[in-house]
Homo-oligomer: A and B are copies of this chain.
Amino acid sequence: MIKKSPLAPNSFPKLPIIDGVRFATAATGVKYRDRTDVMLASIAAGSTVAGVFTRSATRAACVLDCQSKIGGDTSRGAAILVNSGNANAFTGVAGQESVSRICAAVAEGLGLPVSAVFTSSTGVIGEVLPDHKITKCIGSLTRSMHSNAIEDAANAIMTTDTFTKGSTASVEVSGKTVKISGIAKGSGMIAPDMATMLVYIFTDAKIIQSELQTLLTDLTDSSFNCITVDSDTSTSDAVICAATGTSGVDVTRNESFKKALGHVMLDLAHQVVKDGEGATKFVAVEVTGAASDGDARKIAMSIANSPLVKTAVAGEDPNWGRIVMAVGKSGATANRDRLSIWFGPHLVAEKGWVSKSYNEKTGATYMKQNNLIIRVDLGLGNATTTVWTCDLTHQYIEINADYRS
């Protein structure tokens, strides 16, 4: 049994009801016993839906299906169905047929066009999805929809997750309140581009689809695309945002709304890293002074993905030499003699050498914290970035060396 991540928040946050969105869950037995494994969300007529998906060349059938539908007409409403336990990825024509049958059943159950039904599947790759187990539950799902069941929905979509992930924000626009509630799953196969996981965000804001899509794509770059657990990219990643418009508040190009949505997305992204398989440390990698944005990202991701850096963090070893190594291997422009490195507030190295003010004991004490900041200044330019990662521990090996049996 996998223990709950030591980085988990104390409790699931209180997520406000979003008018126009209802949820139901079921235990269909796709793979797991004694737990829910399907969630259905119905989204009211007049809503807009945006989505961002994995760039994997071996995307799952449900991802390809979503991508073909996003941007279409959802004026009669929409639905999202997610199953856990089976990713329905690399299952050939059978995979596409499963998606079609599930979408048809949901469309019929909720009185929607098939083109407004989005699905995700998460779990093992390469096994045929027993979709009949899902479709036969659609009737009972549609009869049990509730507006206050978002936490149940978040539970049903978990795989190797050790805690349920949710986040919320609200924002005042023209004297009225706009609410955002989001849920996520994700623990392994969390990788830079695009960061894994399934994420569903609901808001009662009013915004046309093309504007919502732009917003979601932009904000994904600075949230889900800035996290990594193991550098592995899922076949099934999806971030879907539905705006019901039920608040009556138009948030088009509203900076406060953008900030609030960005907050929810970054919070969910951080929760995914904090539930990274085997994680015991949450690490922000900050790069400053890089010659270009691309270089800043290359260096940050090189550090965040380095097994030697991640095992040093696991061992609470202030091994800054491995950070130098990761900068050096990144392929970005770096000058050894201009490089500075900090562990939190502690200047560790500068001008190509250990700092005079640094002593190993300070570093070792700092590394005992659960939340760490590793900062590298290249001394070359003005580009900066921050990415988030976790440590690499025995438990990662335990979880992944025998995941399927």
Q: Which residues of A contact B (CB under 8 A)?
A: 54, 56-59, 87, 89-95, 124-127, 188-189, 191, 193, 230-235, 305-308, 311-312, 314-315, 317, 319-322, 324-330, 332-337, 339, 349, 351-354, 392-394, 396-398, 400-405
A308 near B188 with CB under 8 A, answer: yes
A312 near B400 with CB under 8 A, answer: yes
A321 near B89 with CB under 8 A, answer: yes
A308 near B58 with CB under 8 A, answer: no
Contact of A353 among B56, B87, B90, B337 (CB under 8 A): B90
Contact of A325 among B193, B235, B325, B401 (CB under 8 A): B235
B92 near A324 with CB under 8 A, answer: no
5 residue pairs A–B, Cβ–Cβ below 8 Å: A57-B328, A59-B336, A235-B324, A308-B400, A315-B403
> Which of A93, A306, A308, A404 gathers the greatest number of chain B CB atoms within 10 Å?
A308
A317 near B352 with CB under 8 A, answer: no
* Known contacts A57-B334, A317-B401, A329-B232: A308-B189 contact under CB 8 Å: yes
> Which of A59, A233, A336 gathers the greatest number of chain B CB atoms within 10 Å?
A336
| Nearest Cβ on chain B to A8's Cβ, whole angstroms | 22
Contact of A90 among B54, B126, B193, B336 (CB under 8 A): B336
B325 near A189 with CB under 8 A, answer: yes
B57 near A327 with CB under 8 A, answer: yes
Rounded to whole angstroms, the CA-CA distance of A383 and B352 in the bound complex is 42
